[in-house]
Every structure is written in structure tokens, then in C-alpha cells.
Amino acid sequence: MAGFSFDLQGTDGRARTGVISTPRGDIRTPAFMPVGTAATVKAMLPGSVRETGADILLGNTYHLMLRPTAERIAALGGLHTFMNWDRPILTDSGGFQVMSLSDLRKLTEEGVTFKSHIDGSKHTLSPERSMEIQRLLGSDIVMCFDECPALPADRTRIAQSMELSMRWAARSRVAFGDRPGHALFGIQQGGLEEDLRGQSAEALCEIGFEGYAVGGLAVGEGQEAMFGCLDYAPEQLPTDKPRYLMGVGKPDDIVGAVARGIDMMDCVLPSRSGRTGQVFTRHGVLNIKNARHQNDPRPLDEACTCPACRGYSRAYLHHVFRSQEIISSMLLTWHNLHYYQDLMAGMRTAIAAGSFVDWQTAFHTGREMGDIDPL
């Protein structure tokens, strides 16, 4: 079986483009991973997600361990077969959801005991159990089990959390074992403290991973603080391994992260926004529920080639959203995911051509223009 590897093919400033190779296919970077929390990208067929340009999806350990359970998915052939997606899948460790969704959680050195947000049943997640669940799911990229405190938090709390996460990272590495063709990513923590981030990076590099994530951001700190951290955090990680910024984000966040050396991102925003009528275009964000669209025969974006823009007017999309028709979620989600993948493709091309600065300027200029004038 072919292994896991990363080929850094070009840089422009700190922005990078390359290819992550896995037995299930290549992942072009910078890469955006649509989120399939419960083994589905909501309102999308797997083939439709692939048509947007996505090379990889994200699955969620916490949600899948609770329902339908990792053991059931393994018995049914693994997550790829279960959800009919034959390309790479990254699974998160479950740690963030345990901290943010669960009731009555108890944190110890061993792991986290918590009650399910679904039915109140009691569960335990540890580095070893997280690795076991992700092995049962069969994901191609596995994330270490870590703790992620919400920001703002005091330095002592952040340091304690980071140190615990590094001990858990070492245990995750041991529990992951030898799995050719699969990769384990370490997760850098340390809040907004540069020295703590540095200590975390050193600990992770000493353990050794196939890729490295910048964790603990997009948790309430705001874009300015996040970019301030990204001005140094990616550079603390190895240059020859993929760098993954977890849970990001808005188009401006993504472009800014790539400019600072990030290779991979994920976020529920494009799919969740599609279901609530928020639409991303080259000219910024529009809300399809607004009355200005009800008589507009034009597409969401005349330059977009997605099915929503090729076949449907703003007036129709306004109507089906207002009428709560299922096709609204389908078309708007498809458009948003298509826009995000176009964004990534544009950056890959610009970085390879050495024109990323010009591309960034055009990106921001287009968004500052705002939506087209109403009829």
C-alpha cells in the first residue's frame, strides 16, 4: 500500500502550495475540508461534494462514537463505505466537542468522562479510546486527543492545558501504533502565548507526527488575535509537513491563514450558512431571505458555475428559502461549498505562479465592492 506523504511544491512569501498523497487519493493544498459531522455533509450527496472540488472530508469522532457508534460503522465496512465517500477522510479527536457540548464532564489525567448531549448516557474519552474509535472509523488522517480551553483564559490555565495535551499527544502516538497509509497529526496548543506555542511545538516535534495542527484558535479570540498568533505559530512547526488550522473559517480568515503558512482548514460555515440563507460570493456575503431578491432574475454570482447559479435565479432561491423547501438548503450549500473550493483553487494557482499578493488584493477588492445593485 502506498504511504502518506507531503510534497511542498511552491511558496510565495509564507503562502505554500503542495500535495498530500494518501492511498485514497491526493489532497491539493491549500485545502478546505467540508465538514461531514455525522457521516454526511448536510444537504449534499457525496458525489456532489466531490464535484465542488473537495479532495477530503472531515468526520467527527464525538458525534459518530455516540451515534451510530464506531463499532457499528466498523462492522458495516468503515466510514468511507458507510457514507459512500471513497476519498480521504480526516477525523477530529472528539476533544473539542466533549468540552463544548457535553454535560457534567470530568477532566482527569486519564481523559474525560462525560454525559452524551443526545441521551445523557455516560462515556469516557482518553487518548487511547480516541485512537481506537478513529481506527474503527478507518479515517486516513487521525487527530491526537487534546484539550482545548475557550479563550480568553488566564496563562496558568492555558499552560496547564497545553502540558496535558502534550502528555496526551505522546499517549496518542503510542496508541496509534503502526498503520501504513494512515497519518497521525499532532495539535499545537498554547492559546495566544508565543512561548507556550513554542514549547508545544517542540514537544510535538520530539514525539514526531505526519502532520501538525494549530489548535485552540477560532474559539472566541477574534480575527486580529488569531492572525497575531498565526504570525508565528505555523513557523514553529516543521516546514516539510502539512499544517492544519482547525475550525477556520470565513473567507477572509482562510485567505489570511494561507498567507501565514497554513495548508489545511475546515469549517461548518459554508454548509451551515447555506441552510440559513447566507450566501458567499466574490462580492461578499448576501442574505437570500431579503426582499430585494424576490423579483431578481439574475444568478447569485454571474461568474459562478455551480448548479444554483447555472440554473436558478435569485428570485427562485428567495422563494424556496422563504417556503422552507429542501431544495433551498441543497442549492445554497452547493453554491457555498463551490465558492470555497474555487477560493482554494485560486490561491493554489496564484502561489504556484508567484502572484499571491496580487491575488489577495483582487480578492479583498472584490469583496469590498459588495453585492450587485438591486434591480
Alpha-carbon distance of 246 to 244, in angstroms, equals: 6
Phi-psi region of 58 (alpha: psi -120 to 50; beta: other; left: phi over 0): beta
Active-site residue, selected from the candidate residues 12, 92, 146, 263? 92
Chain-centroid distance of CA 244 in Å reads 8
Chain-centroid distance of CA 134 in Å reads 17
Alpha-carbon distance of 316 to 312, in angstroms, equals: 6
The one-letter amino acid code at 296 reads D
- Cα angle value 216/217/218 (rounded, 5°): 130
* 15-22 vs 5-12, strand pairing mode: antiparallel
Widest CA span of the chain, in angstroms?
62
Is residue 266 among the annotated active site residues? yes
Query: SS3 breakdown of the chain: % helix, strand, coil, rounded to 5?
Result: 45, 20, 35
Alpha-carbon distance of 124 to 183, in angstroms, equals: 24
Judge whether 355 and 272 are in contact, CB under 8 Å: no
The one-letter amino acid code at 178 reads D
* 183-188 vs 141-143, strand pairing mode: parallel
Q: How many CB atoms lie within 10 A of CB 120?
A: 9
Active-site residue, selected from the candidate residues 55, 140, 266, 342? 266
Alpha-carbon distance of 125 to 91, in angstroms, equals: 15
Cβ contacts of 373 within 8 Å, gap of 6 or more: none
Cβ contacts of 298 within 8 Å, gap of 6 or more: 313, 314, 372, 375
Alpha-carbon distance of 194 to 210, in angstroms, equals: 23
Cell numbers given for 195 = 512561548
Q: What does the DSSP 8-state code read for residue 35?
A: B
Active site amino acids: 92, 266
